[in-house]
Amino acid sequence: MRLLWVTENYPPSPGGMANSCDRIVRGLRAAGVVVDVVHLSRRTTHHRENGLHTVPLGDDPEHALRLLWTTLEPRIGDYTHVVAFGGTHPMLAAPVYARWGGLPLVTLLRGNDFDTGVFSLRRQPVVLEALRASAHVCVVAAGTAGQVSALAPDTPVTWVANGIDTTEWRILPSEQRAADDWRTGHVAAGHRTIGVIGQLKNKKGVRLLLDALPADRFHLILAGDLEPGIGDWLAGHPQVAHTVWPFRDRYQLLSVYASCDLVALPSFYDGLPNVALEAAALGIPLLTSDAGGLADLVDDEIGFRFPAGDPHACRAAVHRAATAGDDVLRTLGEAGARRVRDRFGVDGETDGYLKVLESVR
């Protein structure tokens, strides 16, 4: 197989989607699939290197996408599939390239592509056309499959959960010592640390969690880009002990995870965030909603789950986490690490995509 892989999210772009795209591509290449990545980027120059073609969209994305076809057309017959991974422009361009090249289109939906895309006046037609033009659609949350099928009933849909390679994903002793030193200097005795990590957009439910936190039980760690209004909330609630750290790359987050007793993802809607897998793989209990792929990962055996958007249930989950003993948290964390190793490994993720690709050859 040889894939023409069209994406807006690929390193060196930051964020979880770029990390996921890189991980999936590397897994497929390791399995013997040739993957030529077209990265539709905001960078200002074209770049070609080892199966990567960076295409700057600039101020005229329509021109950039049409010009890209001029480059692709002479060798489109070398490919077996076109893959659209995340973002509006890949879902706009990939169906056209697939039709013009006479190739099957496989669309890999991520969280916001679908969750908000179908309610966007601008993006909804693009999303629906991509779903209906696809030979197969893959989703990262089991519950999303039925929603996609309702809108594109003739398109096969498969759930392929995000994975994580745990072989080198561990907290070093030096990182743990630094985290322990930080806690000694900043966290009051008897307080647990609860981390909210990543690009903290409106969908992440940060305000829902803040309203549920008892001021005398937790020290809140916010690591990432804050949604508007959170800073004002914190300033208006000085009794809530908190630390704000800037957005960090994946491996820089290990020192953040080392500082957390729990990691919270109180999302209103979501895919399957890398943060959830990363924290669970390190043995950190999760406090999450049941939004999207979080429902596939988290239950009472590895953390504290509540119905998405329910403030009373969120408060109850926070209370359970606050009153649980250290031995309970340890048991939850160990169970979470086992679950990630057994069910959410990168090999299983790669196998899932291979089966889909083979089914539409």
Helix (H) or strand (E) holding 264: strand 262-265
Local structure of 231: helix, strand or coil: helix
pTM of the model: 0.93
Residue 45 has pLDDT above 80, yes or no: no
Q: Calculate mean pLDDT across residues 44-70.
A: 88
Q: Range(s) for CATH 3.40.50.2000 in the chain?
A: 2-163+345-359, 173-343
| pLDDT of amino acid 199 | 80
* Dist CA 159 CA 292 (whole Å): 11
Closest CA to 331 of 306, 304, 301: 301
Q: Calculate mean pLDDT across residues 302-331.
A: 97
Q: Calculate mean pLDDT across residues 124-138.
A: 97
Total number of residues shown for the chain: 361
* Dist CA 259 CA 191 (whole Å): 12
Q: 345-356, pLDDT tens digit by residue? A: 999 999 999 999
User: The domain at 2-163+345-359 falls in which architecture?
Assistant: 3-Layer(aba) Sandwich (3.40)
| pLDDT of amino acid 113 | 83
Local structure of 83: helix, strand or coil: strand
* Dist CA 134 CA 359 (whole Å): 13
CATH topology of domain 173-343: Rossmann fold (3.40.50)
Q: 237-287, pLDDT tens digit by residue? A: 999 999 999 888 888 899 999 999 999 999 999 999 999 999 999 999 999
Report the percent of the chain where pLDDT is more than 90: 84
Residue 214 φ/ψ, nearest 5 degrees: -75, 135
**Which residues does 346 contact at the CB level (< 8 Å), separation at least 6?**
23, 27, 163, 164, 165
